[in-house]
Structure 1
Amino acid sequence: MPLSRTWRADLMAGAVVAVLLIPQSLAYAMLAGLPPQVGLYASLLPLLAYAALGSSPVLGLGPVAVLALMIAQALGALPAGVTATEGALVLAAEVGLVLGVAALLRLDALSSLLSVPALRGFETGATLMIAAGQLPVLLGSAAAGFTLPELVAAAPQGGLGLASAVWGGAGIALLLLSRRARSRMLARLAPLLLLMGAMLLSAFTPAAVGVAQVGALPSLTLPLGLPRLEAALWLQLLPSAALVGLMGFVSSLAVSESLAQRRGEKLLPAAEMRGLAAANLVASISGGMPVAGSFSRSILLHEAGSASRWSLVFVAAFMFIAMLALAGPLAHLPKPVLAATIVVAVLSGFSLQPYREAWRYARAEGLLMVAVTGAVLCWSIAAALAIGVVGSIALLIQRTAQPHVARIGRVPGTQHYRNVERYAVECQPEVVGLRVDESLVFTNARGLVDAVLAHVREHRGKVGVPARVLMLMAPVNHIDVSGLTALQELHAALQAEGLRLEFSEVKGPVLDRLKAVGWLERYDVSLYLSHHDGIRAGEHALRPSLADMDAPGQL
């Protein structure tokens, strides 16, 4: 794409996303219990930092709803004398440092700690909790809480305001109607137009009497400076910062990877971690709050034709102009209208379809999704993330605790070998053909001997008395020390049964490791280039020389 066209595309994408980011920045800052200008500050310099170090041209960085809920919980018990704004700066600095250290140590693989079911369960629970948490604001109530039990307990003392309910209800209705409009541009501009209209109506008519408003804001100039440097405060917020950092990186990476696949681009997870680290560190010295990638804004950048990370620079420029223009009018913005934009925005992506699909495909993972969602709603953010991480690891261990070993036979008239339980195949009486369907590592190594001997007994009962066990090793990508020990135990167990152990189709990297310790020679294990060659070799056939397979990675 010519440079001029690239700049025009990035400029247009930046303008479109800035329109969406303005109301979201205000709303998510207040959702986190912070002054609305904090959301604007977090949408300026942090975007420039990510643009310099990140790798995705379409990651819509800034305040996000899920992190806002986590930030609100983290700032709920600050020491006396520490304001929420000061706590948010410390939290952003710690998130940046945690991600920065993880990037230096190349720990971007930490994103795999949260499986997709756990991540979706968390996001859905947070979505519902955010919407529920805005109900008191919509209704003019003073009730507040970070979980459903807290909201229910506070409801009787909260009180209700009819005027607030009218403002909030009207805001939701107008936003929902705008989504039915044929013009996609009108739907995107609707939140901003609603806020502008509400500010004008509130400022020049008595319609907002008795309705809570944002109130006068300080001078909207970037408050550059270091966060509070108090050891006790940093230690108190560090666990929350680690959770916010993990969630921010995992969710941002999920968004940017999905869009990179659509665009045929290559994403660098390590660069994404560095970019997020820099963005949060910059937010901590420019009056902001922890930031991450937003799915809605990223999709919008993609659809608007963003061609490079310059689009984020333009977003920041338009946000700066908007910040200067909105300093006065924001004071008249009714809080129920701002709450309406939050509710409609977060619930727009709500769906039960992932739960149904997970339940049909793998019930254990479906239950994990439900458990994580329930923990967000009824317990806490930290507990939900812990359940998600521990549950994901537990399911992985449960799936790999027993190695999948299949007895295989030849499909008649071919050289293909398939599972005897799924296909009509031919088996030779003198050899037990087996296929190991996963790497042999410490989580599953202990079950290898029992699995193989069970197939040997089945072969004897149905086919004949074997003399060899030929294991097709093509699916095995790695054998660790525990797996190697299990193979040694298997060799001894088969030797006690009067059977030889043989391998076929061992991958090059695995074969290199076996050769490095002389394992094949030590245990006199036959090795065949193809499984079909091994089946045809016969009990007394000459084994291929290992010298013929000396080139690393040949197999």
Structure 2
Amino acid sequence: MLLKWPDWKAYGRRYFREDLLAALVVSVLLIPQSIAYAMLAGLPPQVGLYASLLPLVFYAALGSSPHLGLGPVAVLALMIAQTLGQAPPGVSPSEAALVLAAEVGLILALAAALRLDALAALLSVPVLHGFETGATLSIAASQLPVLLGSPAKGFELPALLESAWASGFAWQGGAAAYGLAALLLLLAARRWLKGMAARLAPLLILLGAIALAAGSDAVSRGVPLVGALPPLHLGLALPRLDAGLWLAMLPGALLVALVGFVSSLVVAESLGRRANVRIDARAELRGLAGANLAAALSGGMPVAASFSRSVLMSDAGSRTRMTGVFIALAMGAAMLLLAGPLGLLPKAVLAATIMVAVLSGLKLGPYRDAWRYARPEALLMLTVSLLVLCWSVTAALGLGVLGSIALLLQRTARPHVALIGRVPGTEHYRNIDRHAVECLPGVLGLRIDESLLFTNARSLSDVVQLHVNAHPDTRRVVLQMSPVNAIDFSGLEALRELHDNLARQQIRLDLSEVKGPVLDRLRAGAWQGWFRGQVFLSHHQGMEAGS
């Protein structure tokens, strides 16, 4: 949190220098990225710069991570571009982006108020990785025409190929020369330079391209340039209050909010573990909500955390969230001093910057690892990637969430009930298929290995009956309940059905090692009225009773 007045003196002695230096380093990367990601989203370049000012200050006041590099993000830029395409006629992309940022902020604020930070679980690791990989490839593909000076446009591969075919695969030599040269220099810098030199390389290449474009009169040679940026003007104003526009942006805002929060939380927790800093998920919701609302009020676009910028902040020595405030100040100074020169930057150089930045995070190893570990999850990951690349972000995320739920239901629809026996010479009971154990004749020891909920409870009686059929001499069944952490009404009814089914076969049902909260739920369900067995403190006592 931001320091209060009595702490400022201590802050100046301990952290000011580290935070200021980290801010200067990150600002070097954020300036070209802010412009590039705004243009990637189909917005004017200054929108990305505005999104790197007040949003960082609001996150510093409300968030919890000292290392989160907030601002425009490549993956969100792709989602924003697709969402802006749904805006009603007569609405400019900049106006729609402000409404989108406001909706994202309000959604995140509502989620924080309702304690819905657990919604992050909706995007499983396979879905998140598949989405990020598909978005990375889609962004890189969309920037290839810009890199070569081609008029082709599109984010999805079929639309991009159709546009390129319609343009006759035309390209502009001057733009291609700038783009390919910048691409090779950026790759060489990543390969050969280390430390501060590697961090400064993108800015130096950008400045070199500006100087060359100005000296060679690139615009007269047909090289597309960013164009003149307007002067810094942070006049606060409400987004356009148009019900039709707000309704059109809402589906995209829900997805942007979910992806922005999940990806930011993953980054914050990863760096937090590295630095032994506790991350508060609700505070992250509040911080991102405040940042996006600030973007909506100050001419920006939806923002989230960038993994590359966050790692850079951590490595550069950021100690508190005041680093974000210093970054905002540095970005404001850059807009005042560099607005004119940045207008001379060739778009092909920005495209090269985007391609190198996004492709540096491309990881194909998880596909191999997932295929070895769980092929259904690997197929889900691959499907999500292909949908992002070939269809749409919305369809990919929707199918990914539904696929994750389907896999969860498939795994939990039939509770695992293990037949267990006593390890010789001990009072420990283990699965007979994995250990050499002793079993008592007439007494069936079974262990339920998961909670009894509506997703799996219906199959409980059938699973237990299979074990009973395999041991026709059974007089008593003892269910070890230690793995059961919860039981809902469906689970209670399933337990009752099992009890009555065994009773009809003259088999008594006993329970062992029932956890306190589960026993409380059973009592609340008035199970004493129908349960005729016993509850034992230990499974060994239950197995030995009456033998």
The answer to whether the aligner puts 1:100 opposite 2:112 as a matched pair is: no
- Cα contact 1:57–1:306 (8 A) shared by 2: yes
The answer to whether the aligner puts 1:246 opposite 2:258 as a matched pair is: yes
The answer to whether the aligner puts 1:301 opposite 2:309 as a matched pair is: no
* 1:45-66 residue CA offsets vs partner (Å, 9 max, x unmatched): 0011111111111111110000
- Name the structure 2 match of 1:133: 142
1:398: how far off?
A: 0.8
Partner of 2:127, secondary structure, is helix
- Cα contact 1:520–1:526 (8 A) shared by 2: no
The answer to whether the aligner puts 1:477 opposite 2:496 as a matched pair is: no
Aligned runs of 1:87-486 on 2, under 5 Å? 87-158=96-167, 159-206=170-217, 209-460=221-472, 465-486=473-494
Amino acid at match of 1:467: R
- Cα contact 2:141–2:155 (8 A) shared by 1: no
How far apart, CA to CA, are the structure 1 residues paired with 2:187 and 2:460? 58
Amino acid at match of 1:360: R
How far apart, CA to CA, are the structure 2 residues paired with 1:338 and 1:270? 35
How far apart, CA to CA, are the structure 1 residues paired with 2:427 and 2:181? 70
How far apart, CA to CA, are the structure 2 residues paired with 1:265 and 1:413? 46
1:42: how far off?
A: 0.1
Query: Which segments of 5 or more consecutive residues in structure 2 lack a partner in the other structure?
Result: 1-6
Partner of 1:327, secondary structure, is helix
Amino acid at match of 1:388: G
How far apart, CA to CA, are the structure 1 residues paired with 2:506 and 2:311? 63
- Name the structure 2 match of 1:510: 518
CA distance change for structure 1 residues 322 and 518 in 2, over 3 Å: closer, same or farther?
Answer: same
Amino acid at match of 2:225: Q
- Cα contact 1:140–1:212 (8 A) shared by 2: yes
Partner of 1:214, secondary structure, is coil
Amino acid at match of 1:187: A
Paired residues, what number? 535
How far apart, CA to CA, are the structure 2 residues paired with 1:250 and 1:128? 20
- Range moving further from structure 2, 442-451 or 307-316: 307-316
Query: Which segments of 5 or more consecutive residues in structure 1 lack a partner in the other structure?
Result: 540-555
Amino acid at match of 1:339: A
How far apart, CA to CA, are the structure 2 residues paired with 1:353 and 1:41? 36
RMSD: 1.5
* 1:318-367 residue CA offsets vs partner (Å, 9 max, x unmatched): 11111212111011100000000000000001121111111111111111
- Name the structure 2 match of 1:552: none
- Name the structure 1 match of 2:53: 44
Partner of 2:85, secondary structure, is helix
Amino acid at match of 1:359: W
- Name the structure 2 match of 1:8: 17
- Range moving further from structure 2, 481-490 or 211-220: 211-220
- Range moving further from structure 2, 46-55 or 529-538: 529-538
2:543 to 531, 535, 554: 535
1:182: how far off?
A: 4.4
How far apart, CA to CA, are the structure 2 residues paired with 1:337 and 1:157? 25
- Name the structure 1 match of 2:3: none
The answer to whether the aligner puts 1:64 opposite 2:73 as a matched pair is: yes
1:207: how far off?
A: 5.3
Partner of 2:378, secondary structure, is helix
- Name the structure 1 match of 2:4: none
* 1:262-310 residue CA offsets vs partner (Å, 9 max, x unmatched): 2222211111111111111110010100001111111111222222211
- Cα contact 2:225–2:345 (8 A) shared by 1: yes
Amino acid at match of 1:168: G
1:520: how far off?
A: 4.4
How far apart, CA to CA, are the structure 2 residues paired with 1:356 and 1:175? 29
* 1:429-453 residue CA offsets vs partner (Å, 9 max, x unmatched): 1211111111000000111001111
Partner of 2:343, secondary structure, is helix
- Range moving further from structure 2, 315-324 or 355-364: 315-324
* 1:2-26 residue CA offsets vs partner (Å, 9 max, x unmatched): 6322222222222221111111101
The answer to whether the aligner puts 1:487 opposite 2:495 as a matched pair is: yes
Q: TM-score if structure 1 supplies the norm length?
A: 0.94
- Cα contact 1:131–1:342 (8 A) shared by 2: yes
Amino acid at match of 2:288: L
How far apart, CA to CA, are the structure 1 residues paired with 2:525 and 2:91? 61
Amino acid at match of 1:414: T
How far apart, CA to CA, are the structure 1 residues paired with 2:427 and 2:80? 60
1:521: how far off?
A: 6.2
How far apart, CA to CA, are the structure 1 residues paired with 2:375 and 2:528? 42
Amino acid at match of 2:384: V
Amino acid at match of 1:507: K
Q: TM-score if structure 2 supplies the norm length?
A: 0.95
- Cα contact 1:42–1:62 (8 A) shared by 2: yes
- Range moving further from structure 2, 28-37 or 216-225: 216-225
- Range moving further from structure 2, 144-153 or 73-82: 73-82
- Cα contact 2:186–2:202 (8 A) shared by 1: yes
Amino acid at match of 1:499: I
* 1:224-251 residue CA offsets vs partner (Å, 9 max, x unmatched): 2111111111111111111111111111
- Cα contact 1:466–1:499 (8 A) shared by 2: yes
Identity %: 64
Amino acid at match of 2:478: L
How far apart, CA to CA, are the structure 1 residues paired with 2:111 and 2:251? 15
How far apart, CA to CA, are the structure 1 residues paired with 2:22 and 2:412? 46
- Name the structure 2 match of 1:547: none
* 1:20-45 residue CA offsets vs partner (Å, 9 max, x unmatched): 11111011001001111111100000
